[in-house]
Amino acid sequence: MKTKKTFNPNQFDTNYTVKDVAKQFKQLLPMDFNKISLADEIAKLNYEVISKGYEDFKYNNIVDYYNIKVDTIV
């Protein structure tokens, strides 16, 4: 007999960072994020920034954003 499990939305959370996404999408590497919004570029790739401390246009190099958490857009 199967038992029903309650829906747990946290079960679907991912633990991606900008570093993970940058490895998959090399076109992000040469971009100047002082002039281009990283959040907008990530959204075009079906990811969203979820870190509370994220600030747009703060750094020009994506490496400086590597620890920022992102999640897939469903």
Query: What confidence score (pLDDT) does residue 41 get?
Result: 96
Cβ atoms of 67 and 16 closer than 8 Å: no
Query: What confidence score (pLDDT) does residue 5 get?
Result: 72
Per-residue pLDDT tens for 6-57?
A: 766 555 666 899 999 999 999 999 999 999 999 999 999 999 999 998 999 9
- Number of domains observed in the structure of the chain: 1
Q: Report how far residue 43's alpha carbon sits from residue 37's, in angstroms, rounded to the nearest whole number.
A: 10
Q: Report how far residue 61's alpha carbon sits from residue 10's, in angstroms, rounded to the nearest whole number.
A: 31
In a domain? residue 51? yes
pLDDT-derived band of residue 61, with 50, 70 and 90 as boundaries?
very high
In a domain? residue 10? no
Query: Residue 45's domain spans which residues?
Result: 15-72
Neighbouring CB atoms inside 10 A of 66's CB total 13
In a domain? residue 1? no
Q: Is the pTM of this model over 0.85?
A: no
**Token pair 């499990």: residue:** 5
